[in-house]
Structure formats: structure tokens, C-alpha cells
Amino acid sequence: MVSSNHENAAGSLAFPKRLWGKIVGFALRLKNLGKEDPRRIIHCFKVGLALTFVSLFYYFKPLYDGFGLDAMWAILTVVVVFEFSVGATLGKGLNRMLATLTAGALGIGAHRLATLSGETGEPILIAIFVFIIAGIVTFLRFIPQLKARYDYGLMVFILTFCLISVSGYRDEEVIRMGFERLSTIVLGSCAAVFVCTFICPVWIGVDLHNHIATNIEKLGNFLEGFEDGYFKISEEGQPINKSSSLQGYKSVLTSSSKEEIMANLAKWEPCHGKFRFRHPWNEYLKVGSVTRQCAFKIECLNHYLTSEIQSPPEVRSIIQGECTVISSECGKALKELASGVRKMTKSSAAEPHITNSKAAAENLKAVIRSSLSKHCDYLEILQAGAVASLLFEVVKCTEEIAGAVHKLASLAHFKNAKPRVTPETQELPSQGAVNPVSGIDGAHHVITINPSQSLRESENSSPPVLAPRMEV
């Protein structure tokens, strides 16, 4: 009896602890969600501000008398139109306003024609109009180009047309209802677009731009770390698997749909910052496409990092030098391209790395023909040959990415990058010249010594000094 009481007491205490643990865990998830992107917190305040603004239709009697219960459409419009980015909000707002205007006018016309046919023919004509219009507009939603940008507007068009045409009000009541509904929807859409655009705006075009640059950089990070992951051997004779730190490229494999959505939304945005009107957003999709093709090649390379069956160390050592150069140079080239995209500058810094990788690929082919072909056990060299073949494909993909990025830079009017001054290219000040004396046999030279600029500046009071001439 006593033990059962203790069990009941323990059970009653365990439930509040579990509940409190779930509450704390949920709060921590919310905290992490806000830390990942603080713009989400700002977006919540922006939505609240827009809803508070349109709620003034209910708070002030003159506004409420003007619109009545139709003022609720302004609040509903803000709720359904306000999105995280400017492009998404502007696209939804324009879709809703244009769809309401056209569907409302068409619905009023259909209702007018139906009422002229009398009480008997009115429901029949309205049913025919609804069937035809709804069917045609629904079919238009299957067209990919329309679905990508106008799917929400087509859906609102069907809804508005049915509400207006099927209503049983008199003609003047239908016109008044349509006008008030259109006015409140326009006001709600404009409020959402205004708050989203002018208060801490989130430009989806900027996100797409940075997303493409980050994806290219992820591929570069993998290729630069490929040497350590494949060619450094552990004591058991297996590659040291560091692939856990090189898995960033995996997000590139599934980024196609995300990039298409972002590009479609970016087309709605006005010019802002360095992004001009009619910015070539489709070129970002082309860059993303060739980047994914390279990511698939890298995915195959990654399988050889984690494979349990490996080529012998002596076989890998044969191709290590050239493979290291290829992966390192391609990684550097991709990082240079990513930096150019992110800074919106035209740069040829990636070209030397691409040239070096192509030269290393030719050398690797010669090594394969001269060294690997001499091995009798073809099973041992099979994996090494596959790795080399994939690296050849990576070189080709890197060159294609560079071409796509250069085309994007040209169409988007990227600025020219400032030339870099390296110790190899830096010019030293002229200190003198040694010239041979013509017409004199033997090792005779004339040495012309020019006074340094600093010496002349420090001795401004002294008379000009002629350069002495000395024969050796």
C-alpha cells in the first residue's frame, strides 16, 4: 500500500517535469530559429504593424461607415498577401488586385446578362458562365509559365468571379459590393507592400545572388579538402575520412526548385542597390544549373572517400601529385568565381587556376598511360582511374561555371575588379642601368648611376648633380 502511494506520487511529479522540459525545449527551438535569421523577428513586427494599420477601418467610425463589413477584406488581404520578401509580397499584391479588378468586372457583366434573360434563364446562364470561366482559368493554371508567376492571381480570379456572378443582389447592389471589395483589397495590398518594402526590406534577389555565390564556394571548399580526405593514409592503409567537414556541397544537389522560386519572385522586385531594372535573373538559374552538374561529379568523388574498398597506397601515390594540383586549382578557381559573384565584379583571377588545372589534367593522362597501365592487377587501379576520370570532369565543369559566371557578369554590368599587386608583379624603382659599350672589344661596359629620388628630395638646397659616367 505504501509502495503504491510512492509510485503515484512519483508519477504525479514526473508529469510536470516532462511538461516543463517540453516547454523549455520549444523555447530553445524558437530562440535558435531567431538566431539563424534575425530578419524573421523583424518580419513578425512588420506583419503586426500592417494589420494594425488596416484595422483602423474598424476603430474609426467615418472609415467604418464608408466601407462597412467589407473592411474585413483589407485585413484578410494583409494576412494572405504579406510575405517574407518584397518580391513575394509585391507579386501576391499585384496578382490579387488585378485578379479582383478583372474578375469583378467580368462577374458584373455576367450577372447583368443573366438578369436580362428573366427569372427562368438567369440561373441557367450563370451556371454556364461559371462552368466556362472556371474551366478555362483552371486549365491556364497548368501552363508552367503562368503557374510560376500568376497562379495565385488565377485562383483569386475564379473565387472573385463566382462570388460576384452568383450573388443574388440587384445590379446596383452588385456594382456597389464589387467597388467596395476592390477598394478594400487595394488598400490592404498597398499597406502590405508599403510596410514590406520601406521598413527593413528583405530582397529575395539579394538572397538568390548570395545563394549562388555560396553554392560555388561550397564546391571549392570540397575540392581544396579532397587531398587530405583521399590521399592521406591512416595506419590501417585507409584514407583519413574527413568528409564530415566537406558535406556542404550536398545542399547544392537539391537547390534547383528553391532557385527557380527565388528567381520568379525576384522578377517582381523593383531596382534596388546594384540590381537594376530587368536584372538578368534567368542567368542565375544557368549558373546554378552548371554548379549542380559539378556537384554531382563531386558527389561521386565523395563516395570514394567513404568507400570500404580502396586502391592500394602505392597506386594512389602515383596519381597523387597531379590529382592534388587539379583539385586544389579547381577549388581556388571556384572560390575566385564565388568571390567575384558576391562582390559583383568582373575578375580574371580564376583563369590562371583553370589553366593550371587543365595542364595538370594533361599530365595526369600521361601518368595514367605510362605508369598505371603497367600494373597487372587492373582491379587495383580501377578505383584510381575512376577518381582521375571524375577529376577530368570536374575541370570541365569548372570551366563551364566560369563561362556562365562571365556571361552573368557581362549582362548584369558587374564592375571591373581592381588589379592585384603581388610581389612578383610589383615594379621596383629604377636604381641604374648597365649597358654594353658598342664598338669596343672585350668586357667593357658603361655604368650609369642615377641619384635616388629620396636623396634629391633631402638635398633640395644643393645644386643639380650630373650623373657620373664610368667605364669598366
For 141, other C-beta atoms within 10 Å of its C-beta total 16
Is residue 458's pLDDT more than 60?
no
Distance CA 271, CA 30 (A): 34
Q: Is there a contact between 350 and 402 (Cβ–Cβ < 8 Å)?
A: yes
CA distance readout (Å), 81 to 53, 76, 86, 167, 412 = 15, 8, 11, 25, 30
pLDDT of residue 3: 56
**CATH of the domain spanning 204-231+245-414, picked from 1.10.10.10, 1.20.58.220, 3.30.365.10, 2.40.30.170:** 1.20.58.220
Distance CA 232, CA 444 (A): 58
Is the whole model's pTM more than 0.95, yes or no?
no
Helices 86-116 and 204-230 pack at an angle, to 10 degrees, of 130
- Residue 11: pLDDT band with limits 50, 70, 90: low
41-52 mean pLDDT:
94
Average pLDDT of every residue of the chain: 81
Distance CA 13, CA 372 (A): 70
pLDDT > 70: percent of the chain: 76
Is residue 461's pLDDT more than 50?
no
Looking only at the bridges linking them, the beta strands covering 415-416 and 432-436 are: unpaired
Distance CA 203, CA 262 (A): 10
Query: Domain map of the chain by residue range?
Result: 17-198, 204-231+245-414
Q: Please, which residues bridge with residue 416 across strands?
A: 346
Question: Residue for cell digits 456597389?
Answer: 176
For the segment 398-417, what is each residue's pLDDT rounded down to a tens digit?
A: 999 999 999 999 999 998 87
Q: Which three cell numbers stand for residue 220?
A: 571549392
For the segment 268-294, what is each residue's pLDDT rounded down to a tens digit?
A: 999 988 898 889 999 999 999 999 999
Looking only at the bridges linking them, the beta strands covering 445-449 and 469-471 are: antiparallel
Distance CA 315, CA 323 (A): 13
Of 198-207, 230-239, 327-336, 342-351, least confident by mean pLDDT is: 230-239
Amino acid residing at 391: L
Of 174-178, 332-336, 391-395, 401-405, least confident by mean pLDDT is: 174-178
CA angle 151, 200, 214 (to 5 degrees): 70
